[in-house]
Amino acid sequence: MKSRNVMESFNAAIEGIIYVAKTQRNMRIHLGLAAFVFFFSLFVRLDRIEWVMLAITIMLVLLAEMFNTAIEALVNLVTDTYHPAARLAKDIAAGAVFFASANAIVVSYLIFGKRYLGTNMIPVILRIKAVPEYIMITCLVIIFITVIIAKAYFGKGRPLWGGMPSGHSAFAFGVCTAVSLMTQNSFIALFVFILAFMVAHSRVRARIHTWWEVAGGAIIGMVVTLFIFRMMSPL
């Protein structure tokens, strides 16, 4: 195989993620739960260590599911007939996913269960007066998951080259919307909007995306960010 440049390496990596999301129902479930947990974490004001632990736990589940799919593909490549060793390899890989998922449940319970669920939830939401710094990271994570699911659904183009929606536009307009909401300065909002538009226009100018694709990405970025920031605004 010829050596890949950086862009090709990114494309290959994200294509692997899209393939797993497109072909594996469990991966789609994990991605949906990951987006929900990241969103839910916005309401409970986790400290930095808790947020990092939660992110690592979620990533372990997703990584285990991807390794499970990779092992299944490798086993199917080696043999297309039943063999006890092939079944054992698949069962062990599935067991790794089970361990990661069980660990995620335990960690989630320790973080959310005793501190935030039940009657404590409403006072926590009412006390939210400012947007913590990790909300922006959560927005980008949810935008990324949404773009991956959308690309898996439409099945066109490559992860960083073409297809609906444009991931570059989604991130650019997500950041643009977040900066505008946090600064509430019309000059800065106009400036970042121009930058986001330039990113989208460059994708069309290079014939990587159509205007519909960059518009779809822009809508995803803005809607996800607006929704999260609106939910986190003072009541």
CA distances from 175 to 46, 64, 126, 135, 220 (A): 22, 30, 26, 12, 12
Ramachandran angles phi, psi of 159, nearest 5°:
-55, -40
Please name every residue paired with 161 in a beta bridge, in sequence order, or none if there are none: 158
Evaluate whether 26 touches 69 at the Cβ level (below 8 Å). no
Q: Is-contact 54 111, C-beta < 8 A?
A: yes
What distance in Å separates the CA atoms of residue 150 and residue 223, rounded to the nearest whole number?
14
Give Cα separations from 64 to 21, 68, 230 (angstroms): 13, 6, 34
Chain-centroid distance, C-alpha 114: 27
Catalytic residue among 65, 72, 133, 213: 65
Is 50 annotated as catalytic?
no
Residues labelled as active-site residues: 65
